[in-house]
Amino acid sequence: MIKSPAFIMAGAVATAIAFAASPVQAGKSNDTLTWATDREVSVVDPYYNRTRELVVMGHLGWDGLMFRDLKTGEYKPLLATKWEWKDNVTLIVELRTDVKFHDGSTFDADDVVYTVNHVTNKANGVVSYSNVKYMKSAEKLGSHKVQINLHKPFPATIAYLAGAVFMMSDGHYDKASTKADGKKDYGSVKPNGTGPYKFAEVKSGDYVLWQRNDAYFDGAKGKPSIGKVKFRTIKESNTQIAELLTGGLDWIWDVPKDQAERLKEQGQVTVENAKTMRVSYIAFDVDGSSPSKQFKDKKVRMAVAHAINRKAIAENLVGPASVVIHSPCHPDQFGCISDVPKWDYDPAKAKKLLAEAGFPNGFETEIGAYRQREFTEAVIGDLARVGIKAKLNFMQYRALRGLAWKGETAMHHMTWGSNSIPDASAITGVFFAGGKDDPADDPEVNKLIQDAGTTTDPAQREALYKKAMTKISGELYWLPMFTYAKYYAFAKDLDFKTTPDEIPRFYSAKWK
C-alpha cells in the first residue's frame, strides 16, 4: 500500500514521541527561546505586516503608551506616566523620561508625534490602518508631553494605544528605500523600538532573531529574563512537534487537537488549551463579483449556514475552550451582542433551500483558506453532504487577503484576532464599515458601525451594535463560526503562562 505524505509524517511524529524519552532542552542550554509557526516572515514591522506573528513581535520589540493588565482589565502606564482627556477628542499624555530606543537615542515627545503623524497618513500605506485611523494628529506640548487629536470621539482609544500603537523613533521611516514603482518600502527599515527585546537578525521566510534589551526600563512589562527569542518558520505541524520533542523548538501553538492530546498523555512537554480573542468566519461573495454567482442568493447562503456543523468542529477539532458564535465579534469584546439571528445545523433544511434556489443537485464552487486546513476540510465535508462540492484553495494569508480584497473569492474561511483589542470596533470596524475588507458594503450597516465606534455612551453603543449585528447575521454577509482555542505545547523547563488575548508574553517567560 502506498502511504500518503501526511501518513508518513504522522508516523514520524509517533516515532519521535515514542523514542524521545528525554528530549534535548537546547533552549535553556543556550538561553534562547525558540518558537515556530507555519507563517513566513520577511517584514519585521507591526505597521507593515499584520499577521499574528508580528503582533507578538510588536510587543517584544516595541512599546505602546499604555499597558493592559490582563488580570484586572486595567490600563496602566508604560511609555506614558499619565494621561487625561481634555475633551472627548483630545488626549493629553505625559511621557517617561528614562527610556531609550535600541539604537541608544532617547525617547521623547518628538517620537510620539512622528509615529502618530506617520501612521495616520493614509498615503504611507500602513496595513493595519484600522488600528490608527481614529487619530487625526499629534502635537508636542513639551519635551515629554503630547496631545493626541482624534477625528471623532472614539471610546476604544486607550485600548488601541495600549495594544496596537507602537512607538517608533523620530524619522524612523525616513530611512526607507525606494521600490521600483517609486513608492517607499517602509517595511524594509531595520527595526528600532524601546521594547524588552531588540532586533538582531532576519532571514526572510526562515527566522527572526531577537536579543534581550539589557537596558530596558523598569515598567509594567517587567524586565526580560531569557537572553534570546528566535522565531522560526516551519511549515508542517508534524515537523514542529518532532522538533519540540528533540530540542529544536521550545514552544509551539496551533497543535492539532488529536496530537496535543497524545502529547499530553505522553508527558514530555507541557500542553495547554486556552481561549483566544480570535474568531473563525466564512465570508460570502454577496455581490457576485467572483466567478461563482450563487452566493448572491440569500437562500444559498442560508443553505451553507445550515449545512455546517460548527459545534462539532469546535468540540472535535478546535478544543474545549472553543465556543460557537453567532455574531461577527468575540464574546469577550465590549459591544458583542449575542441576541442576533442564529443558524442551526440542519442538513435537511439546507437541501430544501438549495432546491428552492434552483440547485436541487447542488453546485461546484471554491473556498479559500489559509490556516488549520483540517477545519476547512471539515466544512467542505459538511457542504458535500448537502450537494455543494467546494474545492479548497489553500494559500498564504497575504495572497488570500488579496483575492478577498479584489472580490475574487466565492467564499473564504478566514480568522481575525482583533489585534487582541477587547472592543467590537476592532473587528466590525474593519469588516463592516466600508472598504476592502467589507464583503457587503451595506450603507445601513456601515453607518451603524461607524456610529457605534464613535459614540461615547456605552448603552447607545450596544444598541447600535445590536442593530448592525442583527442585519449582518440575518443577511449572512458573514457566517460567524467559532472562537479559536489554541493548543500550546512547550518545553517542561520553560516557565510560560498562556493568556486569553493570543499574545504570548515571551518577555515574561523564564527558565525553570
Q: What φ, ψ does residue 438 adopt, rounded to 5°?
A: -85, 115
Q: How far apart are CA 237 and CA 37, in angstroms?
A: 8
CB 84 within 8 Å of CB 181: no
C-alpha cell at 183: 513608492
Q: How far apart are CA 333 and CA 252, in angstroms?
A: 26
C-alpha cell at 33: 527561546
Q: How far apart are CA 156 and CA 454, in angstroms?
A: 9
Do β-strands 207-212 and 228-233 pair in parallel, antiparallel, or remain unpaired?
antiparallel
Q: State residue 5's pLDDT score.
A: 40
Helices (H), 225-362: 237-246, 257-266, 298-307, 310-313, 347-356
Domains of the chain: 36-198 (3.90.76.10), 276-485 (3.10.105.10)
Q: State residue 468's pLDDT score.
A: 97
Confidence class for position 24, pLDDT limits 50, 70, 90: low
Give the Cβ contact number of residue 175 at 10 Å.
12
Angle between helices 298-307 and 347-356 (to 10 degrees): 160
Q: State residue 435's pLDDT score.
A: 87
Confidence class for position 26, pLDDT limits 50, 70, 90: low
Closest by CA to 270, choosing from 260, 257, 284, is 260
C-alpha cell at 403: 483575492
Confidence class for position 223, pLDDT limits 50, 70, 90: very high
Q: State residue 9's pLDDT score.
A: 43
Tens of pLDDT, residue by residue over 151-206, are 999 999 999 999 999 999 999 999 899 999 989 999 999 999 999 999 999 999 99
C-alpha cell at 216: 530596558
**From residue 365, how far is each of 149, 153, 253, 290 by CA, in Å?**
47, 43, 31, 10
Q: How far apart are CA 191 and CA 212, in angstroms?
A: 14
Chain position carrying cell 539589557 = 214
Confidence class for position 419, pLDDT limits 50, 70, 90: confident
Residue 42 in this model has a pLDDT that exceeds 60: yes
CB 157 within 8 Å of CB 91: yes
Tens of pLDDT, residue by residue over 43-80, are 999 999 989 999 999 999 999 999 999 989 899 999 99
* pTM metric for this prediction: 0.82
Chain position carrying cell 461607524 = 450
**Helix, strand, or coil here: 312?**
helix
Q: Is 77 exposed, middle or buried (0-12, 13-18, 19+ CB in 10 A)?
A: middle
Confidence class for position 4, pLDDT limits 50, 70, 90: very low
Tens of pLDDT, residue by residue over 74-87, are 999 999 999 999 99
- Residue of higher predicted confidence among 327 and 2: 327
Tens of pLDDT, residue by residue over 441-471, are 999 999 999 999 999 899 999 999 999 999 9
Residue type, 158: I
Tens of pLDDT, residue by residue over 106-122, are 999 999 999 999 999 99
**From residue 433, how far is each of 16, 318, 427, 450 by CA, in Å?**
49, 29, 10, 6
Q: State residue 19's pLDDT score.
A: 44
> For residues 390-417, b (16+ Cβ closer than 10 Å) or e, as one string?
beebeeebeebbebbeeeebbbbbbbbb
436, HSE (Cβ side, Cα atoms, 13 Å) = 12
C-alpha cell at 134: 481614529
Confidence class for position 25, pLDDT limits 50, 70, 90: low
Tens of pLDDT, residue by residue over 482-505, are 999 999 999 999 999 999 888 999
Find the mean pLDDT for residues 136-146. Answer: 98
Tens of pLDDT, residue by residue over 226-247, are 999 999 999 999 999 999 999 9
**From residue 235, how far is each of 249, 262, 371, 489 by CA, in Å?**
14, 21, 11, 16
Q: State residue 128's pLDDT score.
A: 86
**From residue 470, how far is each of 284, 386, 403 by CA, in Å?**
17, 26, 27
